[in-house]
Amino acid sequence: MSEDERGAQDGTAAWHRRLHHTGHGSLSEETAQTPGMRRYEAISGKLGGSRKIWMGESHVAPGMVSADHHHGEAETGIYVVSGHPVFVFLEDDAERRVQTGPGDYVYVPPYVPHREENPSVDEEAVVVLARSTQEGIVVNLVSLRAAVPELDRLIGER
Domain boundaries of the chain, sorted by first residue: 23-156
**Which CATH number is 23-156 given?**
2.60.120.10
Higher pLDDT, 80 or 21: 80
Distances (CA, A) of 137 to 57, 101, 111: 14, 25, 10
Q: Is the pLDDT assigned to residue 14 strictly greater than 80?
A: no
d(CA 42, CA 40): 7
Q: Cβ distance 43 to 20 under 8 Å?
A: yes
Which residues make beta-bridge pairs with 41?
28, 56
pLDDT confidence tier of residue 4, bands split at 50, 70 and 90: low
Task: Report, as an integer, the average pLDDT of 112-138.
Answer: 94
Q: Is the pLDDT assigned to residue 6 strictly greater than 90?
A: no
Which residues have a Cβ under 8 Å from the Cβ of 27 and sit 6 or more positions away?
Answer: 40, 41, 42, 56, 57
d(CA 79, CA 127): 5
Whole-structure pTM value: 0.82
Question: What is the tens place of the pLDDT at every residue in 41-51?
Answer: 999 888 888 88
Q: Cβ distance 36 to 114 under 8 Å?
A: no
d(CA 144, CA 118): 17
Higher pLDDT, 61 or 158: 61
